[in-house]
Amino acid sequence: MTDTSDTAATSRRRRFDAILLVILVAALLSRLALASTQSLIYDEQNTTIPLAEKIQFFGEHRYLPLRATNHPALPAYIVKASRTLVDSTEPVAYRLLHVIGGLGIIVLVYLLTLQWYGRTAARWAAALMAFNEYSMVVGTHATAHVPFLLCVTVAVYSFSRFLRGQRLLFLYATAVALAGAFYAKEHAALLLPIFFATLCLPSNRAWLRGPHAYVAAALFFLIIAPDIVWNVTHVPDSQVTYNRHLERIGGLGFSIYPTAFYVKAAVAALHDAWTGQEFDDNTAEYLSMNVALGVLLLAGVAWATMRRDPDDRARSYLLLLFWGIFGFFTLIRKGAPQGLDSVSWIWVDASMIPAIVLTAAMLAGAAGRAATALWATVGLSLTVSVLRVFT
């Protein structure tokens, strides 16, 4: 028997969407303008670009590093490829593939939303991902953020396809994509227990009685095995090991920094008033979302958390993703690592993927005056985002 809902979803995916094309063109032009005009930031000048310049694939001076200073070296290889593709020393030459990767994130978020909530929601999701301040800024820098978020989004989308169609190809694709994210930033491994928690849901539990979930996990560890071996055998010097990263965790506690990803201005003001000390922002070169947009995304998550819809098969998965990432970093007390930031609001950036999808579903499902108010708020918030980035 044909699953008519899946058939309809497939038909929707195959139709050309002119609005998505407009969003992508606008996102590309804005990011190219930023990538061409913004000066190189600290991480570019001191990490990815210098390491990329040293990479040599052939000859007696072949140099293929596994690690950068703080994280694995995948972002440097992407910078190397971008610099090779555009033979120039202008900033955009180093950043071009990161700009393209940012567009890939937008498309994947669109497809992820489309398969569960329809075309209207998918368009909202694409716009929210394309034009929030954080995505626009990190999407124009040659740092680890775009490779990390792109691979995470591929993993989230692949696992979503697996949940919907029960095709093993997507389960193993999830493992490969998650390993790719790990080679950009190690805390991508946090998604592995979240995926297993999703398989513990009653509708997915049968997969835990077979081998494939465990084989996929083994594939993930097999791919990252070289980095694990490096950490086990390496004597700490200038490069940061897993142990050094784990020193950032000072135990159980409460951190306001994950909330600052969404409403940094409000959190910083409350922190300053409550403690009498200035909010410690070690990544001021990146813009967080404006308060209106951040509140909207948090409201979308809260709406999804409180509602009960047995027909919404994606809700539990997306909520586990958001609360797994956001909750983990909220419930740890900052430690005292040597030479590393003890805490940062950007650590929860992957949580915006489920937050955006859930908020887009809320926007698409609104009707009447509520829809008018919500859509006007989104339009104004995204306008403010673009203006903040370009001024």
Please state the pTM of the whole predicted model: 0.93
pLDDT band for position 14 (cuts 50, 70, 90) = low
Percentage of residues of the chain with pLDDT beyond 70: 96
Measuring CA to CA, how many Å separate 306 from each of 201, 301, 302, 310, 320?
18, 9, 6, 13, 14
Where are the domains positioned within the chain? 4-390
Measuring CA to CA, how many Å separate 152 from each of 38, 108, 109, 145, 263?
26, 10, 11, 10, 23
Is 80 exceeded by the pLDDT of residue 323?
A: yes
**Which class for 5: exposed (0-12), middle (13-18), buried (19 or more C-beta within 10 A)?**
exposed
Residue-level pLDDT at 246 = 86
Q: What is the mean pLDDT of residues 177-184?
A: 97
**3-state class of 2 per DSSP?**
coil
In the structure encoding, which two tokens stand for residue 286, read together?
């990146």
Q: What is the mean pLDDT of residues 83-93?
A: 89
Measure the CA–CA gap between 61 and 54, rounded to whole angstroms: 9
Q: What is the pLDDT of residues 19-68, one digit of tens each?
A: 999 999 999 999 999 999 999 999 999 999 999 999 999 878 899 999 98
Q: What is the mean pLDDT of residues 386-390?
A: 94
Residue-level pLDDT at 236 = 66
- Please indicate whether residue 168 or residue 89 has the higher confidence score (pLDDT): 168
Percentage of residues of the chain with pLDDT beyond 90: 73
In the structure encoding, which two tokens stand for residue 358, read together?
């859930």
Is 70 exceeded by the pLDDT of residue 9?
A: no
Residue-level pLDDT at 362 = 95
Asked whether 357 and 278 are in contact (CB, 8 A), the reply is: no
Q: What is the pLDDT of residues 366-382, one digit of tens each?
A: 998 889 999 999 999 99
Residue-level pLDDT at 244 = 84
Is 90 exceeded by the pLDDT of residue 94?
A: yes
Q: What is the mean pLDDT of residues 188-203?
A: 95
Residue-level pLDDT at 25 = 97
Q: What is the mean pLDDT of residues 317-345?
A: 90
Smallest CA-to-CA distance from 349 within 149, 155, 180, 160 is with: 149
Is 50 exceeded by the pLDDT of residue 181?
A: yes
Measure the CA–CA gap between 28 and 50, rounded to whole angstroms: 26
